[in-house]
């Protein structure tokens, strides 16, 4: 395997799974010149005039769809760790004796450890998609036949749109659908809020199969996925375990350190003048970012400030802000708890978005760069503000990228992280895996204070007299290393063996994950 150094100084392969790759050129340096993917023109002649596309079962649908060895099958991850559909799907693929599938999920979860046997027996050749937990571990240990490809939500849409990944068959788990294939995630016993991660799949895949456990008469309204893009509809008993699809409830952190980080971030938004009428922010569903939202809400109420929009993943905390009039809109990409799902269904101001609207870098702009502040996590940050979100410092690939890379384009990106975890420093000289170039990261918020990227002189100036400690990141690192007894040990990896690559939002290769030697 030939590796070259890309513009970020990282070693990346020039060819992955038989396909030529473009190495990362730098932020905003690579301009595509080609044409979008061009799906085959279909005709109504080939589809039932009464609109009824229901077939007996998934096997029938896969057969009709012409499933063959070596094809690409895509799935989405809105059912998260409650997903039964993907496992069922590959049970059928295995039963049909099909081999060497490229599985293209938007992400995978611990529940998908069921598929390890299919990775081992050659049913699945490799995974292109974020791998949370067991499949990531399996991959890092060099056990997958092909090379994993990790993309952000926006990068996944980009890769489909640009024809980089051609999906032969998309399987879309839909909490509610009609026989024509119109589908929504905001209702039904397996409701997950929305199913926008499957949008690109529905638009560009050769064949699209909708699987639902709540078939309603045409029309299914809203139609988050349009039946006009769907070939077959399959009814099943259940899409999975509702309790694991969305949390009954999401909760803020109880850790005093994390609460302090959250408070600092909220205070920073206020003091830096970001929190003002008409502003916008995005915060994830982690304990710290939830706590941040709670603190920010109090500040907004106190100062009588109203946001124009909040970007989800939504939770009950964001829903409360919408319903209390603290924001005009939630622009949501996924719902993390039952209140998010309810609000999605009930509030006209809780708006369904997709990786196309929010994150696709190869569009005429996207929402991410319009957001005033994004509060994100990271597994590691280096002293040049470069960050890692997929591997731990032991080299193991255990987390997906999600919308993280895309959100870095916000006007002010804040990584809210503890300085160490389990006595292992989080701030390092060089990240194990580069996921986000430092020039896009403005602030590191820790329990010890804020590190502001030196290029953000404006923020350094406005925060000069803040009660929050403003710390030089290199100084901070030194102190943490002393507390933890030194920098993290370098993982023992095989630098000849790339097990996965990290794509940048423009489809270029930003970094490699190497096989860990045990």
Interface residue list for a copy of itself (CB under 8 A): 28, 31-51, 53, 161-162, 180-181, 208, 217-219, 221-223, 226-231, 278, 308-309, 329, 331, 348-349, 351, 356-357, 360-367, 369-370, 409, 411, 506
- CB atoms under 10 Å from CB of 44, counted, come to 8
- CB atoms under 10 Å from CB of 293, counted, come to 24
- CB atoms under 10 Å from CB of 230, counted, come to 26
State the alpha helices, DSSP H only, in 76-140.
85-95, 116-120, 134-140
The smaller minimum CB distance to a copy of itself, of residues 254 and 364, is found at 364
Q: Which helix (H) or strand (E) holds 513?
A: strand 509-516
Minimum distance of a copy of itself from residue 163's CB (angstroms) = 8
- Residue 396 sits at φ, ψ, to 5 deg, of -80, 135
Minimum distance of a copy of itself from residue 390's CB (angstroms) = 23
The smaller minimum CB distance to a copy of itself, of residues 195 and 233, is found at 233
Question: Shortest CA distance to 219 belongs to which of 183, 192, 188, 251?
Answer: 183
The smaller minimum CB distance to a copy of itself, of residues 336 and 361, is found at 361
User: In whole angstroms, what is the distance from residue 108 CA to residue 129 CA?
Assistant: 7
Minimum distance of a copy of itself from residue 306's CB (angstroms) = 12
The smaller minimum CB distance to a copy of itself, of residues 294 and 351, is found at 351
Minimum distance of a copy of itself from residue 247's CB (angstroms) = 26
Residue 227, SS3? helix
- Residue 281 sits at φ, ψ, to 5 deg, of -150, 165
The smaller minimum CB distance to a copy of itself, of residues 245 and 412, is found at 412
Minimum distance of a copy of itself from residue 341's CB (angstroms) = 16
CB 517 within 8 A of CB 496: no
Minimum distance of a copy of itself from residue 440's CB (angstroms) = 11
Cα-Cα-Cα-Cα dihedral sign, residues 112, 115, 117, 122: negative
Question: Shortest CA distance to 172 belongs to which of 85, 93, 104?
Answer: 85
The smaller minimum CB distance to a copy of itself, of residues 407 and 471, is found at 407
Strand runs labelled E in 86-217: 101-105, 107-108, 124-127, 130-131, 148-150, 169-174, 176-177, 183-184, 207-212
Residue 235, SS3? strand
Beta strand pairing call for 413-416 and 427-428: unpaired
The smaller minimum CB distance to a copy of itself, of residues 99 and 308, is found at 308
Minimum distance of a copy of itself from residue 223's CB (angstroms) = 8
Minimum distance of a copy of itself from residue 136's CB (angstroms) = 29
The smaller minimum CB distance to a copy of itself, of residues 247 and 453, is found at 453
End-to-end CA distance of the chain: 22
The smaller minimum CB distance to a copy of itself, of residues 203 and 511, is found at 203
Q: Which helix (H) or strand (E) holds 281?
A: strand 280-283
CB 514 within 8 A of CB 497: yes
Minimum distance of a copy of itself from residue 425's CB (angstroms) = 33
User: In whole angstroms, what is the distance from residue 128 CA to residue 147 CA?
Assistant: 8
Minimum distance of a copy of itself from residue 52's CB (angstroms) = 9
The smaller minimum CB distance to a copy of itself, of residues 137 and 411, is found at 411
DSSP for 98-111 reads: ---EEEEESEE-GG
Minimum distance of a copy of itself from residue 329's CB (angstroms) = 6
Q: From its phi and psi, is residue 256 left (phi > 0), alpha (psi between -120 and 50) or beta? A: alpha
The smaller minimum CB distance to a copy of itself, of residues 252 and 440, is found at 440
């Amino acid at each position: 395997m030939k590796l070259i150094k890309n513009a970020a100084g990282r070693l990346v392969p020039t060819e992955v799974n038989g396909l030529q790759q473009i190495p990362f050129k730098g932020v905003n340096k690579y301009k595509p010149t080609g044409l979008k993917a061009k799906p085959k023109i279909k005709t109504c002649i080939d589809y039932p005039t009464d609109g009824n596309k229901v077939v007996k079962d998934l096997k029938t649908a896969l057969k009709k769809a012409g499933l063959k060895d070596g094809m690409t099958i895509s799935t989405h991850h809105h059912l998260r760790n409650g997903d039964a559909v993907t496992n069922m799907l590959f049970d059928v693929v295995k039963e049909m004796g099909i081999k060497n599938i490229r599985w293209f999920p938007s992400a995978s979860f611990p529940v998908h450890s069921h598929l390890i046997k299919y990775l081992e027996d050659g049913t699945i050749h490799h995974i292109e998609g974020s791998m949370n937990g067991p499949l990531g571990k399996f991959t890092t240990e060099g056990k997958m036949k092909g090379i994993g490809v990790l993309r952000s939500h926006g990068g996944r849409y980009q890769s489909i749109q640009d024809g980089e990944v051609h999906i032969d068959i998309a399987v879309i788990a839909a909490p509610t659908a009609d026989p024509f294939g119109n589908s929504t995630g905001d209702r039904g016993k397996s409701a997950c809020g929305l199913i926008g991660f499957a949008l690109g799949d529905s638009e560009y895949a050769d064949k699209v199969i909708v699987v639902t456990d709540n078939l309603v008469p045409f029309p299914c309204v809203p139609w988050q996925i349009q039946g006009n893009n769907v070939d077959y509809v399959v009814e099943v008993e259940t899409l999975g375990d509702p309790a694991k699809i969305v949390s009954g409830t999401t909760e803020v952190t109880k850790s005093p350190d994390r609460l302090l980080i959250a408070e600092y971030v909220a205070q920073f938004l206020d003091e830096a003048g970001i929190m003002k009428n008409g502003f916008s922010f995005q915060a994830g569903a982690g304990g710290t970012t939830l706590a941040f939202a709670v603190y920010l809400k109090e500040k907004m109420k106190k100062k009588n400030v109203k946001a124009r929009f909040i970007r989800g993943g939504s939770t009950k905390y964001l829903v409360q802000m919408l319903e209390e009039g603290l924001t005009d809109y939630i622009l949501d990409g996924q719902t993390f708890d039952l209140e998010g799902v309810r609000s999605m269904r009930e509030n006209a101001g809780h708006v369904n978005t997709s990786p196309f609207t929010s994150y696709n870098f190869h569009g005429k702009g996207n929402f991410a760069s319009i957001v005033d502040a994004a509060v994100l996590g990271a597994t590691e940050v280096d002293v040049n503000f470069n960050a890692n979100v997929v591997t731990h410092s032991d080299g193991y690939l255990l987390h997906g990228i999600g919308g993280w890379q895309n959100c870095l384009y916000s006007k002010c990106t804040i990584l809210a992280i503890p300085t160490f975890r389990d006595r292992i420093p989080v701030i390092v000289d060089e990240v194990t895996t580069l996921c986000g170039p430092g020039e896009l990261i403005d602030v590191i918020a820790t329990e010890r204070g804020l590190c502001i990227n030196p290029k953000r002189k404006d923020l350094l100036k406005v925060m000069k007299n803040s009660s929050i400690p403003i710390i030089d990141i290199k100084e901070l690192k030194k102190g943490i290393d002393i507390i933890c007894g030194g920098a993290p040990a370098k993982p023992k990896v095989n630098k000849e063996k790339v097990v996965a690559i990290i794509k940048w939002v423009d489809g270029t290769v930003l970094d490699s994950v190497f096989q860990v030697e045990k």
